[in-house]
Structure 1
Amino acid sequence: MPAQKEIVTTATGRYALAVTRFATGFIFLWAFLDKTFGLGFSTPLDRAWINGGTPAQGFLNSPGVTGPLAPWFQGMATPLADWLFMAGMLGIGLAVMLGVGLRISAVAGAVMMLLMYLAEWPFAANAGSTNPLVDYHIVYALALIVVAVLAAGDTWGLGGWWKSLPIVQRFRWLV
């Protein structure tokens, strides 16, 4: 494989992207851990997934899900949604922190963030959002995209090794 030209050409830029990658990945990984074990930050112990809690169903059936799409989101509140949501949080978090599969994790994470953004419907005047267009869901989605597009997994991550795997060489969308 020919040597790849660096996308970000300064060490400082690469390190800043790596730190952004770690922080963004940890957001997803922490959400998984807190919802699984009820660490008490957004999920109390009695509502932990390991204690029978329903992380996706709990969110989808909460008063925070509002707006014209609320019935559609509430219709998705099933045990399967819990499993898919938690698998997504774990998979995205680990992939981004390790620097592997960044294209897939960026797409999956951005879609997840967009769906959560729409579920909370920030466009209503009383939605509780300080900015109806750009909130943390949008910022997280953009951070995932930037990390993937700029190959942030190559610095302090396993991105270079991942890209050298024969299956990733064959199916470039796995990068």
Structure 2
Amino acid sequence: MTTIGRSNVAHLEQVEAPGSMVTKTAAKVLAVLRVATGFVFLWAFLDKTFGFGYATPSAKAWVNGGSPTKGFLSSVEAGPLKGFFHSIAGTHFANWAFMIGMLGIGLALILGIGLRVAAGAGALMMAFMWLAEWPLASGSSNPIVDYHVVYALAAVLFALTYAGQTWGLGKIWAKLPFVQKNRWLI
């Protein structure tokens, strides 16, 4: 039988205590997931803006006069907010709110700053998109938990774990005087 030193036992107890800390490896995995999730949002912004031909053809790009929201929102077929989504499809407000949201959430997640705001905005945007697709009636393979729910939960996880401090600008951001005065900006 080997004897473990007192400091090693304390270290093991701390590492093994569920919910008490994020290990260095977990922090790195969260950072990779944060950046990848941010890129999902940023890519949607870039493709809709410039029409790279993936989800948005060049002719329908925002810079070419296309609407980032018209096609999606006007094709809503079911759900309690169907009429609302149809009424805002293609409006300047919907286009600008959606695009600013996609850009802001994407950059915040990639840079690791403003994760509380990004989590709230991302969760709200994903909730509205979930309602627009209304998986309860669309024949989805999982009518409750789809990618919208997963992205929303991931954004909240990044904020709760201060995931921007690993491979991000979170530590620098948190020290800025206006962030110190407005802690909700962390």
Partner of residue 55 from structure 2, selected from 15, 18, 42: 42
- Percent same amino acid at aligned positions? 60
The aligned counterpart of 1:133 is: 144
Following the alignment from structure 1 to structure 2, what is the Cα–Cα distance between the partners of residues 9 and 24? 19
| Secondary structure at 1:55 match in 2 | coil
Assess if the C-alpha contact under 8 Å between 1:35 and 1:43 holds in 2: yes
The aligned counterpart of 1:4 is: none
Moved more, 127-136 or 108-117: 127-136
Please report the RMSD computed on the Cα atoms of aligned residues, expressed in angstroms. 1.2
**1:96 offset after TM fit, Å?**
0.7
| Secondary structure at 1:25 match in 2 | helix
TM-score, normalization: structure 2? 0.86
1:54-69 equivalent positions in 2, closer than 5 A: 54-62=67-75, 64-69=76-81
Following the alignment from structure 2 to structure 1, what is the Cα–Cα distance between the partners of residues 77 and 44? 18
Moved more, 7-16 or 141-150: 7-16
Instruction: Classify 1:65/1:28 alpha carbon distance in 2 versus 1 (closer, same or farther; 3 Å).
Output: farther
The aligned counterpart of 2:34 is: 21
Summarize deviations over 1:7-59 as a string: whole Å, max 9, x none.
74421111000001001100100000010011111111111111111011221
Partner of residue 178 from structure 2, selected from 141, 155, 167: 167
Tell me which amino acid in the other structure corresponds to 1:99: G
Divergent runs of 4+, >4 A = none
TM-score, normalization: structure 1? 0.91
**1:65 offset after TM fit, Å?**
4.3
Aligned length: 166
Q: Given the alignment of the two structures, is residue 109 of structure 1 paired with residue 160 of structure 2, yes or no?
A: no
**1:82 offset after TM fit, Å?**
0.4
- Bigger Cα Rg: 2
Summarize deviations over 1:69-102 as a string: whole Å, max 9, x none.
2001111221221011101100110011000000
Tell me which amino acid in the other structure corresponds to 2:151: Y
Tell me which amino acid in the other structure corresponds to 2:152: A
**1:67 offset after TM fit, Å?**
2.1
**1:163 offset after TM fit, Å?**
0.3
Summarize deviations over 1:106-155 as a string: whole Å, max 9, x none.
1001100000000111111xx14110000000000001000111000000
Following the alignment from structure 2 to structure 1, what is the Cα–Cα distance between the partners of residues 35 and 129? 22
